[in-house]
A and B are shown apart, each in its own frame.
Chain A
Amino acid sequence: MDVDEGTITCITGPNGAGKTTLFKTIMGLHIPYHGSIIFYGEDITVKPARYRVMKGMAMSPDYRGIYANLTVKDNILLPLMALGVPRSVREERLAEILKVFPELSTLLDRSGTQTSGGQQKMIAIARALILKPKLLLLDEPFEGLALPVQRRLQNILMEIRDRMRCTLLIAEPSISPLKGLCDHIFKIDRGVVYRG
C-alpha cells in the first residue's frame, strides 16, 4: 500500500477487518510477521514506536487514551515531554495547537477525563498534532462525534493537510464522515487492503 505525501488517505472497512492492527503496525506498537514498512525511504519495520515518533509519525488511537491523572494541558504536551522538548518550545507549540482547537483553551486545567467524549477526541488529535508530524494516523477520529463537530473536524483535517503539509491517514468503519475529505481511499476487509 502506497501513501502519497501531503494527501488525506482513508482506509475504510468493517469492524474487525484489521484497521487498528494496521495502524498499530505502522506506528510500531506491533511488529508484523511478514512485510515491511518504508517511511520516506527508510525501512522502519522493526523500529520501536519512539523512533518513529522522532522521525515524524504520530497517532491518535481509536480508544481515547486520555490520562485521568494528568491535566488536559499535560495530556496534550505529553509527547513533547517524552521527547525532551524544552518548556519554552512546549508552550509555543501549545499556543499554535490552540489556534487549531480553540475550544480546548478553556479546558486546559481540568483533569483529562473531566471532559466530554468529543472533547477527548480533540485532545487526542491535538496531542498527536503537537509533534508537527509528517504522518498523522487517525484511528476512527469521527467515532461518537455529533454531526456539527464532525464537520468541524473535517475542516480542521483539511487545514492540517494544507497548512501543515502533513500527510493524514484516517481509518473509519463507515464512509460517510469521509465524504469529500479523502484524496485516496483504500478498503480493508479481513486483513486484505485494496484500492477503493
Chain B
Amino acid sequence: MLALRKYDIYVYTVLILLLLLLPIVAPRWIEFLVIIALVYAIMVLGLIPLSGLGGLITFGNGAFMALSAYTIGLAVRHLGLGSLAPILIPALVIPVITALLISLVVLRTRYVFFALATLAFTMLLYTLLLKLYFYTGGTDGLHIPNLSLLKGVLDLKVRDRVLGDAYTSYYLTVIAFALVLFATQRLVNSPFALSLATLRDNERRAKMIGISPLTTYSLAFAYSALTAGLAGILYALSVGHIDPGLAYWAGPSAKVVFIAVLGGFSIPGCVLASFLYIVVETYALKYLSYYWQFMMGSILLIILLTSPKGLLGLPEAFIKIRNLKTYLSLRR
C-alpha cells in the first residue's frame, strides 16, 4: 500500500514546484485555501504512522496544534514577542514533549480507549484554555500580529506580500509541507514502519521479537504531535487569530481523523483528501453558512455509505492504477 516507488519523488517534486509557482497565476483567495489545505495535510500526514500503520486513532491533534499556536500567542501577549525565530523551537518542542509525557498515561490503552483518552486530553486542554481567560483570552482567543521572521536580521514579516503577491507564510507553509511529505515518505518505508505494522497485527508477538510497544507508539505519537505543532504555527501565522476551538474535539482533531480515513492513510490519498475536504468545507460554509454542518455531514455520510468495506473509493482508485501497471506487466 505504501511502497516507495522511484517516480513518487518526481511526482512530489513537481507538486511542490507547482505550489511554489501557484501564486503567480492564482487570486488571493485560492492562496488562502491552499494554505489551510496544506496545514491540514501536514497534520494528516503526521497521522499516518500512528493511526494508519499502528492502528491507533487519536483525537489529540487539535490539542497539539493549540499548544504550539498558543505558545506563540501567549509569547506575543505576555512577553512582547516580535519575531518568529526565537519562538519557533519552543513552539515545536512543547507539543512533542507533551506528547511524550502523556504517552506514559495514554499509551497504556488501545483502540477505543486510546481514542477516548486522547479525546479527554484535548478536551481537558480546551476547557483550560477556555476557563483561564485572563491568561489565554478565553473565547475571544488571541490575536497573532504580523511577526517578522527575525527582527533586526530579516525584517520580512509573515503576512507581507512577497513573490506573486502571496504571503511569506504561504511559502513557509509550502516548504514545511515539502519537508513533512518527504519525512513521512521516508518514515513509512523505514523499519520503524514495519515495527508499527507488526504491533498493529499482533502486539504480543511483536513484543516477543523485541519491539517495545511503548517506545514505538510514543515515537509515532510524538511525530503526530510534531506535525500538528508545525501546523499550529503555520495556522497562527497565516490566519492571525487563534481560539480554544482548535483543541475542541470536533474541530481539527476529528476533521483530521476523518480526512485521514478518507485518504485511506496513504500519502497521496491523504494529501488529495485534505484538499478536497477543505474545498468542500469552504464552499459549504460559503453557500450554506448557517447549515454548513448539515451539508458536510451529508456529503461525508454519502461517501461513507457508498464506499466499499471501510476503505474509500479514492485510495482504491489510486491503488488500482498502480496495480494496473504491475498487473499488466505480470500478465505476460
A–B touch (CB < 8 A): the answer is no
B residues whose Cβ falls under 8 Å from a Cβ of A: none
Taking Cβ atoms with an 8 Å cutoff, the residues of A that contact B are: none
